[in-house]
């Protein structure tokens, strides 16, 4: 960022907090949250009024990301001018619009397992659910106690300790802040997962760890909603998770993307989850056993990554109900907060079935 622009933004108490919102006419727009997230600046409307032209980079978050440094330079210039100008036509009260996921349709989502302790904590909890869900709990317990299954291993597999393994998510199931998470009718035990996510901003393949940070556009909060009782049934088939994390509204991102240059160290951020106002989870990205640089280097082995892809960190230790032995209820308010990004708020509800 231009140093003069940076000084102005700091003085205004603003950083580059980009999001997507729906205006009163039902159109999705690219915006920047400002003034403690009370105001959103419509970047393209501001460009038309302040620069006398529409900017193609501002047509969507994906277009901005693909535009690279030139697009961000223009966004920063427009944002600075808009804050100085104070024009009511493009400075909009957040309460009058609807925030969407900042990147409503990521071209790809991968969720990684970067926190070893989360996985260690989760395994015995999943075993207990598997036992409770079985037709013969006593026989199932005996079977698992005498099994070499991953779920009962004393430690993680060597491969998992060496590589940030991941699974692919459904990029068509994404929602944003304030939107309801719909409880799937096949599930009884619903759970949140508190994660940080990195948004890719630069194409690359076989990226060395030392060059990986340059490929990150920014960071957002990720709630990887999970149906735990269905998850253990899937895992018993030996093919990993799928439907337990693959349903409409199951992937939640927001409230914004904060550009990577705003973080001195993205691996030292406080993470908190509140359910109905009560703190359930507290942790830090400093607990990651693999950094995002490690993740990018691994994912990009013989695989090109593209602007607009999202990489999840996996769940911070004690960052989900599974590890705590408690689960969500119909109507619960979920708030996930990560230092420097904000709060991602949603409600989980059961819809009447006809």
The b-or-e profile of 271-286 (16+ CB within 10 A means b, else e) is bbbbbeeeebbebbbe
Considering the chain, tell me which residue range(s) the CATH 2.30.30.230 domain(s) occupy.
Answer: 3-99
The pLDDT tens digits of the residues spanning 233-281 come to 887 776 678 899 999 999 999 999 999 999 999 999 999 999 999 999 9
Considering the chain, tell me which residue range(s) the CATH 3.90.850.10 domain(s) occupy.
Answer: 108-349
Q: pTM of the entire structure?
A: 0.92
Which CATH code of 2.30.30.230, 3.90.550.10, 3.40.50.720, 1.10.4030.10 fits the domain covering 3-99?
2.30.30.230
Distance CA 233, CA 211 (A): 40
CA 18 to chain CA centroid, nearest Å: 14
Six token digits for residue 167 = 């699974």
| Residue 195 · residue 223 · CB < 8 Å | yes
CATH topology of domain 108-349: Fumarylacetoacetate hydrolase; domain 2 (3.90.850)
Distance CA 335, CA 234 (A): 28
The pLDDT tens digits of the residues spanning 61-116 come to 999 999 999 999 999 999 988 888 766 678 889 999 999 999 999 999 999 999 99
């Amino acid at each position: 960022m231009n140093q003069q622009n940076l000084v102005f933004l700091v003085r205004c108490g603003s950083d580059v907090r980009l999001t997507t919102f729906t205006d009163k006419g039902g159109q999705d727009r690219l915006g920047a949250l400002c003034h403690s997230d009370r105001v959103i600046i419509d970047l393209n409307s501001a460009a038309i009024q302040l620069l006398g032209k529409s900017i193609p980079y501002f047509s969507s978050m994906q277009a901005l990301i693909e535009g690279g440094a030139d697009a961000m330079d223009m966004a920063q210039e427009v944002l600075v001018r808009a804050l100085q100008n104070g024009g009511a036509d493009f400075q909009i009260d957040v309460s009058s619009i609807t925030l969407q996921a900042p990147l409503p349709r990521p071209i790809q989502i991968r969720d990684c397992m970067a926190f070893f302790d989360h996985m260690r904590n989760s395994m015995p909890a999943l075993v207990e659910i598997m036992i409770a869900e079985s037709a013969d709990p006593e026989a199932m317990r005996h079977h698992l106690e005498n099994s070499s299954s991953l779920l009962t291993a004393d430690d993680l597999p060597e491969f998992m300790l060496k590589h940030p393994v991941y699974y692919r998510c459904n990029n068509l199931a994404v929602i944003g802040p304030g939107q309801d998470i719909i409880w799937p009718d096949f599930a009884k035990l619903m759970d949140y997962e508190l994660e940080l996510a990195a948004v890719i901003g630069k194409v690359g393949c076989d990226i060395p760890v030392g060059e990986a940070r340059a490929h990150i556009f920014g960071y957002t909060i990720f709630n990887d909603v999970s149906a735990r009782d269905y998850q253990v049934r899937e895992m018993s088939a030996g093919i990993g998770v799928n439907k337990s994390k693959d349903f409409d509204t199951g992937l939640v991102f927001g409230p914004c993307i904060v550009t990577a240059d705003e973080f001195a160290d993205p691996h030292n951020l406080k993470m908190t989850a509140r359910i109905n106002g009560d703190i359930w989870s507290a942790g830090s990205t400093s607990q990651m056993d693999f950094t995002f640089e490690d993740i990018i280097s691994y994912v990009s082995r013989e695989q090109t990554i593209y602007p607009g892809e999202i990489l999840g960190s996996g769940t911070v230790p004690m960052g989900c109900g599974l590890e705590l032995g408690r689960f969500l209820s119909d109507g619960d308010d979920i708030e996930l907060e990560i230092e420097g990004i904000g709060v991602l708020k949603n409600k989980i509800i059961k819809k009447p079935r006809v």
